Structure 1
Amino acid sequence: MIKRNVVSVGLIGLGGMANAHRRMISELEQLQLMALCDVNSELLKRIGEEEEVKEEKRFNDMEALIADPDVDVVISIVPNHLHAKVLELCIQYQKPIMAEKPFTLNFEEAEDLAKLYEKLPIPCMIGFSYRYIPSFRYAKKLLEEKKIGSIRHIAVRYLQSFGAPLFEVPYAWRFNKAVTGTGALGDLGAHMIDSARFFVGEFQSVSALMETFVHERKDPISGEMKKVDVDDYASFQAVLEDNVLGNFVTTRNAIGSGNQHEVTIYGDYGTIHVNCERPDEIDLWTKEENEERPTFKTKKVPEHYQKQQLQDFADLVTDNQQVGTPTFDDGYQNQKVLERIIESAKRGQSVKVD
């Protein structure tokens, strides 16, 4: 564990999502951006100048950054096919890491990492960012307080529209199985799985359906049509801990949806609904005393449920781990569920998770 007041961060991957992490690092006094890594030298130079990172701390090779003794911890924002490699290197060099989801490209990689991690554990956080939506955190507290009684079933949707034919999105790495592993399932479905685990518990079995709607997309460089070999749509039913039933749908072809990750939890005495697009509100149906005809009421989430994602990472690496921090095991279990969903869709039947 790191005992210093300020932790030096090495950021690997400077694409779009890295901008959010740069902002979060800047908001925390405990974290200081020390080093950068990207294969794009032009981007590396520009971001390096913006962040005032010394030239000798700008790397094209991720192992060089991870091995740097001046780097205390690593934050990794790289394409999916590199997730396992970054984690492996951090374990080998014993560098704490915050890595993005999905955990790995496939479950085989996850199993290999788990064996290595068991021998050489490190502080490791996985970027399941929806645990840090205020309404999701408030819902978790209400469930712990049994506000709606025993949970009976849960419905989870994560809908986006950018992949629909209307928008003529060109071919990119997210449509290439060798780089991304899966399509909507790993990109969005991983968050659905984590939300269900966060609110309810472990998955026991799944029964799934996956489909590709747009089979070819234009290569922006060559202009040629390239085959899409990942899913545009995935849905599955599940049995979770304590026999809670679940219904899940995700797609990047839902025209009209922006970034619509929503969860509805049904209990014996009420219902909770949250939507990440309304982060500071929660919809709650419970029967209050003297209320004859209860209806859904929208409540403001108390301010103390606000929490910055990287605050948990800072606490984790300084030996102050908080309850609910998504760790290596959360990433591993998530990848296992993803694997069983793929297996179920291929076999056309229900599959046990363990």
Structure 2
Amino acid sequence: MASNRIVNVGIIGLGGMANEYLRNISIIDSIKVSAICDVNQKLLNIIGEQEGVSQDKRFKNIEEITASPEVDAIISVVPNNLHAKILELCILYQKPIMAEKPFTLNFEEAENLNLLYQKKPIPCMIGFIHRYTPSFQYAKKLLEANTIGKIRHIDVRYHQSFGTPLFNVPYLWRFNKTITGTGALGDLGAHMIDSARFFIGEFRSISALMKTFVDKRRDPITGEERHVDVDDFTSFQAILENDVVGNFVTTRNAIGASNQHEVTLYGDYGTLHVSINRPNEIDIFVRNKSNENPVLTTEKVPETYNKTILNDFAELILNKKSQNTPNFYDGYKNQKVIDRIIYSAEKGHFVKVD
């Protein structure tokens, strides 16, 4: 490794999400951007100058940046059809990776990666960033402390509004099944699945419904209408570990919800509610010592629950330590649940996950 205290990362994909990673890296002492990769030369030049990356460390080829001996680890922020390829290269060159979700384009790719990973494992984290929301971290500790008793039901939603006809969003790669695999399900639903696995455990069975409300969008290049072949609404019910019942809804057609991911956990003694829009607050509905009936309170989350996925990624590489981090198998199992949701929606009945 180039340094025993700093992780020199190569970032593959310089689109919108990359800006968020670059912003976070800039405030972390243990990570430095040493190389970048994108097919867009203009973006390479802009980001290269912005981050002080030399010309010889601005790559257009994903294998070259992955193989570079001066790159300690990879951060992958690319469209879904490239996720598996970059993970495969990182396993081949034994490079730690922080990869975006969904894990792969489909479960067949996930199965193939799993076989490779079992033979040559690497430090790997998947970008399920919402489990790092302070209120989510705090809720996890409260559940472990049995604050609301035995969990009976979890309600999870992830709503956005950008896909509604009101905003007239043009045809993008996210609406193309060959590039994205699924629509709202893989983009937003993957976070719902991870939240449920983070709080409750594994999925046992699923019954799903998938819909495409806006099935045509105008191509911004040709001006012609293109067919949308992925979902913009998915809902499913599930049975999870310990017979916990789950209800899940995700959509890109919820006007007023710019980016709304919420989880409510119902137990025998009370309820917990968290939202990424209120990251430092948690709603707790439990009976206190002076009340026979449960009382709703909103608590501030202690600052000790503030941490970032990139801090954990650096810690994993430098000190080989990890706790509750979204790893390779979290990505793999997440993709299996996505596969079962698709199958259930197609067949119209409950299916077992395993």
Q: TM range, normalised to the smaller chain?
A: over 0.9
Alignment gaps of 5+ in structure 2: none
Which digits, 9 at most, give the CA deviation of each residue in 1:169-226, with x for residues without a partner?
Answer: 0000000000000000000000000000000000000000000000100000100000
The structural deviation recorded for 1:319 is 3.5
Question: Match of 1:216?
Answer: 216
Residues 208 and 235 of structure 2 are in contact (CA less than 8 Å); yes or no, is this contact kept in structure 1? Answer: yes
4+ residue runs over 4 A deviation:
none
In the alignment, the residues of structure 1 paired with residue 7 and residue 311 of structure 2 have an alpha-carbon distance, to the nearest angstrom, of 12
Say yes or no: does 1:190 pair with 2:190: yes
Question: Match of 2:177?
Answer: 177
The code of the aligned residue for 2:133 comes to I
- Paired residues in the alignment total 354
The structural deviation recorded for 1:292 is 3.8
Say yes or no: does 1:41 pair with 2:41: yes
Question: Match of 1:31?
Answer: 31
The structural deviation recorded for 1:320 is 3.1
Question: Match of 2:202?
Answer: 202
Residues 3 and 318 of structure 1 are in contact (CA less than 8 Å); yes or no, is this contact kept in structure 2? Answer: no
The structural deviation recorded for 1:249 is 0.2
Instruction: Provide the TM-score with structure 2 as the length reference.
Output: 0.99
The code of the aligned residue for 2:59 comes to F
Between 1:126-135 and 1:320-329, the stretch displaced more is: 320-329
Alignment gaps of 5+ in structure 1: none
Which digits, 9 at most, give the CA deviation of each residue in 1:65-124, with x for residues without a partner?
Answer: 001000000000000000000000000011000000000000000000000111111110
- 1:65-104 equivalence runs, <5 A: 65-104=65-104
Say yes or no: does 1:110 pair with 2:82: no
Secondary structure in 1 aligned to 2:131? helix
- 1:125-204 equivalence runs, <5 A: 125-204=125-204
In the alignment, the residues of structure 1 paired with residue 116 and residue 145 of structure 2 have an alpha-carbon distance, to the nearest angstrom, of 38
The structural deviation recorded for 1:3 is 7.2
In the alignment, the residues of structure 2 paired with residue 296 and residue 260 of structure 1 have an alpha-carbon distance, to the nearest angstrom, of 21
Which digits, 9 at most, give the CA deviation of each residue in 1:268-321, with x for residues without a partner?
Answer: 100000010000100000000121443321111111110021011011112332
* Structural RMSD (CA): 1.0
Secondary structure in 2 aligned to 1:318? helix
The code of the aligned residue for 1:32 comes to K
Question: Match of 1:276?
Answer: 276
Which digits, 9 at most, give the CA deviation of each residue in 1:8-65, with x for residues without a partner?
Answer: 1000001010011111111111111100001100011010000000000000111110
Instruction: Provide the TM-score with structure 1 as the length reference.
Output: 0.99
The structural deviation recorded for 1:2 is 8.4
Q: Percent identity?
A: 65
The code of the aligned residue for 1:213 comes to F
Question: Match of 2:16?
Answer: 16
The code of the aligned residue for 1:149 comes to G
- 1:303-342 equivalence runs, <5 A: 303-342=303-342
Secondary structure in 2 aligned to 1:27? coil
Say yes or no: does 1:349 pair with 2:349: yes
Secondary structure in 1 aligned to 2:103? coil
In the alignment, the residues of structure 1 paired with residue 309 and residue 96 of structure 2 have an alpha-carbon distance, to the nearest angstrom, of 16
